[in-house]
Chains A and B, each alone.
Chain A
Amino acid sequence: MSDEAVVTMTGVAKRFGGVVALAGVDFSVRAGEVHALLGENGAGKSTLINVLSGVITDYEGTVAVDGSPVRFAGPAAAQAAGIATIHQELDLVPGLSVAENLVLGREPRTRLRTVDRRAMLRTAREQLGRLGADLDPRRLLGSLRVGEQQLVEIAKALLLDARVLIMDEPTAALADAEVRRLFATIAGLRREGVGVVYISHRMEEIEQIADRATVLRNGSVAGTVRPGETDRGRIISLMVGRSAESLFDVAAAPDGPADREPLLEVDALSVRPKTVRPGRSEPTGVTLTVGAGEIVGLAGLMGAGRTELLETLFGAGSPGRRSGTVRLGGQPYAPRNPRAALRSGVGFVPEDRRRSALVLAHPTGRSIALAALGSLSTLGVVRRGRERAAVRGKMAELAIKAASAAAPVGSLSGGNQQKVIFARQLLVRPRLLLLDEPTRGVDIGAKAEIYRLLHRLAADGMGILLASSELPELLGVCDRVVVLRRGAVAADLTAADSTAEDILAAAMGVAVAGKDSR
């Protein structure tokens, strides 16, 4: 390892609207080093690598390659400068062979301008051999396992003379044996002088392969450490910080859990899906309760199975065999589809507004009324007056700011779009509300409003299960926090007695000195 940095980022800052994603970050990658990037969700890791890989072009600060400042016009420019990115979702064509994928867009030609298959296969064998990958380049890419596909992606990057390789959670979808092989490959890259930026939540991996680890927190560098020599607890406290949040003005002290009637009782719920989808963690023996009037948080790393659990509880999970029991208000509850869930009094605010909840071109009023049309109609004809009154009522109650109820949802701010989805769910008067990242992409003001709304709903006796990646949010808003790890419950914590460190430690499967997590 030389001390010469291939890439140096100095004072890089980026804001999205009013939100500061990066606040002056210094970061460098040396030739032949593995530099891990750590941080909570939303700490700025993605933004940082997006700047480095040319995806984000309007940032402040400088990026320098070999000491001379550059400003990439786009990902292609970054690639040309030797910075390649291996995304979680690989950029390969499943219908082409390994060799064809490797030379895609730069196929060697014969004199007749046809593809020189022999040269193509030779190049492919060379590259794969360099990585120690024992793969037949003639095989169809789609027939390879994920780990093998990843090797192809790495080989493709090296073929472009990559000097810095950014790997975003490369082991998330890999089996153990594949992880070992990947690490062997990374060791080989290091010997060849390639710098690797390694993003992962898995502490043991980082200790194993990273030379340095930079911890990001709220868009700033919280510290750079040598992973093998640093206590895990210290790294976690670097990730969490001690920032107090004043957003959560819990009006009244929550009732003790003892005097709450259980509303949702989940006992040993598991789902064995018909088709296993990579990156998904289905519920695995999940046991938890949500009382009437209680707000229970659902914590966990990306891919820990929070969304999958909520979807299962809403009848929208992966099809497959379920085991365990779920009771709602004492009655057995196993919704076949979202319609049945809504009828049982369960509402759901999904994570991805644009993909799962809204038609941006449709009018706000219609979007709010969509789930409640049954009760707003007589013999299938929508009663305009009743609908108008209901929509107006909810828009006023939630302070939804729109030019009018006819304005397309897409013209509203993120926070107001989120409130539209809340309004839609509340219009069907649920007993239990399932929320998946309800404050993502929402400005501070709307966040506070959503928190106040949640407390008001809970005070009225609604049970709320709130999945969130923001630890302060979970601790500030919830009565209890259930931590998921790989689909299973890793800890069930009382918010008042817990810290962000406790949650993160449980989510990462790390024992922190002095604290116990299941």
Chain B
Amino acid sequence: MTDTRTPPGEEVAPAAGTVGLRGTAARWVHRPRSRRELLDRLFAVQSLFALVVVFVVAIAVSPRRGGEILFLDGGNLGNIVRAVSEIGIIAVGMTFVILLGGIDLSVGAILGLSAVGTATLMVDSGYGILPAVVVVLAIGLLFGALQGYATARLGIQSFIVTLAGLQVARGLARIWSGGLGIPIAYGDGPKEAPPAFEFLNGSINGVVPVPAVLFIAIGVAAIVVLRTTAFARHVYAIGGNEKAAKLSGVPVTRVKVAVFAIAGLLAAVAGIIHAGQLNQGSPNDGAGYELDAIAAVVIGGTSLAGGSGSMGGTLAGALLLGILNNILALNNIDANVQLLIKGLVIVAAAALQKLRNTVA
């Protein structure tokens, strides 16, 4: 994108590694001089703002029982984060890919492959937790890296490469599992998984679900990486203008391979969590998850053109989708209507971005 506005990444995270930013931030806080600047400020926190709005609306429309707001119940809030944790983790990887100017359609299938792998390795092959997890993560990482290499060196669009990768991963998952879901039974006997694996299904202090903790931890780590590392700068540079990045000595191939490897690795993480939560690994797991992840990234204000966006926005986007699903479910709204509303929200987010492009 070659317009002159500040990338959303800068706005949500105004201190991201640039000099003199303190002054700019201060200006935003103290003197909104023009209407345009006001708009800038509003858009800067678009996804966070939207998240707060949805949160407040959810409280207002939440069903109550005995004066208690069900939506705000600790267990419910934990469940929201748990429910979005797999999509959220995938969306973190997707954010890197989209910032790079690419797209990754294979992550849902990699999740399925990983869930199958986790289940099969522990149940059929008698692997311990650690070896199983390491092997599955390695597969996800390698799968992503190969896709990155194909995009970078063969110059095929990532859409095509990962569309093919989606088929391949799904096929591998079916072959590996024999086409059936592999149930995970816990115990010490043969054909049983180590009971410790069940911790993925548990909660810390009985309140905070483990997948939610993992999601938040990965999200925070990604925010830090995106704000502090040279790698992240390279990602933004390639997404913004690949030729300029190359002429500036950015190792374009290496960065692309790394980004797709991260996306594959995080999809594998989500796959392991998936297996743990459902106590099984099925080759059809994660179908369509890539689209929900893309939706979270878009709602988070990251531009599909690449080069501008933020990780914080993606986390907010994922949570927003989760709250939306939750409050609709709490109010017993038909699942099909839920889909409709989700679609509208995505369009609204994209329209807001467009508006920002034309106004600011």
Residue of B18, B233, B244 with most chain A CB atoms under a 10 A cut-off:
B18
What residues of chain A lie closer than 8 Å to B332, measured between beta carbons? none
Contact status B2-A373, CB under 8 Å: no
CB proximity to A under 8 Å, residues B244-282: 244-251
Contact status A410-B244, CB under 8 Å: no
Contact status A406-B21, CB under 8 Å: yes
Contact status A428-B249, CB under 8 Å: yes
In the bound complex, CA of A354 to CA of B4 (Å): 11
Q: Mark B1-23, 1 if CB is under 8 A from A, else 0.
A: 11111110010001001111101
What residues of chain B lie closer than 8 Å to A233, measured between beta carbons? none
Q: Is A391 an interface residue (CB 8 A)?
A: yes
Q: Is A322 an interface residue (CB 8 A)?
A: no
Residue of A388, A406, A411 with most chain B CB atoms under a 10 A cut-off:
A406
- Asked, given contacts A361-B7, A366-B17, A406-B18, whether A338 binds B248 with beta carbons under 8 Å apart, the answer is yes
CB proximity to B under 8 Å, residues A405-428: 405-408, 410-411, 424, 428
What residues of chain A lie closer than 8 Å to B4, measured between beta carbons? 360-361, 408, 410-411
Q: Is A371 an interface residue (CB 8 A)?
A: yes
In the bound complex, CA of A102 to CA of B307 (Å): 40
Closest to A380 in B: B229
What residues of chain A lie closer than 8 Å to B243, measured between beta carbons? 355-356
Q: How many whole Å from A346's CB to the nearest CB in chain B?
A: 10
Interface size for chain A: under 10, 10 to 19, 20 to 34, or 35 or more residues? 35 or more
Contact status A370-B20, CB under 8 Å: no
Contact status A354-B2, CB under 8 Å: yes
Q: How many whole Å from A426's CB to the nearest CB in chain B?
A: 13
Residue of B6, B20, B23, B247 with most chain A CB atoms under a 10 A cut-off:
B247
Q: Is B308 an interface residue (CB 8 A)?
A: yes
Q: How many whole Å from A317's CB to the nearest CB in chain B?
A: 12
Q: Is B294 an interface residue (CB 8 A)?
A: no
Q: Is A342 an interface residue (CB 8 A)?
A: yes
CB proximity to A under 8 Å, residues B206-231: 228-231
Residue of B14, B23, B233 with most chain A CB atoms under a 10 A cut-off:
B233
Contact status A370-B245, CB under 8 Å: yes
What residues of chain B lie closer than 8 Å to A355, measured between beta carbons? 241, 243-244
Counting from the closest, the 5 A-B pairs by CB-CB distance are: A359-B240, A410-B4, A404-B20, A388-B19, A373-B230
16 A-B residue pairings within 8 Å (CB atoms): A316-B246, A338-B248, A357-B241, A357-B244, A359-B2, A361-B5, A363-B6, A377-B229, A380-B230, A382-B229, A406-B6, A406-B14, A408-B4, A408-B5, A408-B6, A428-B249
Binding site for A on B (CB under 8 A): 1-7, 10, 14, 17-21, 23-24, 228-231, 233-234, 236-237, 240-241, 243-251, 307-308
Name 13 extra pairs, CB < 8 A, besides A342-B249, A358-B244, A406-B21.
A339-B250, A339-B251, A341-B249, A350-B247, A357-B244, A366-B233, A371-B249, A374-B230, A376-B230, A381-B228, A382-B228, A382-B233, A406-B10
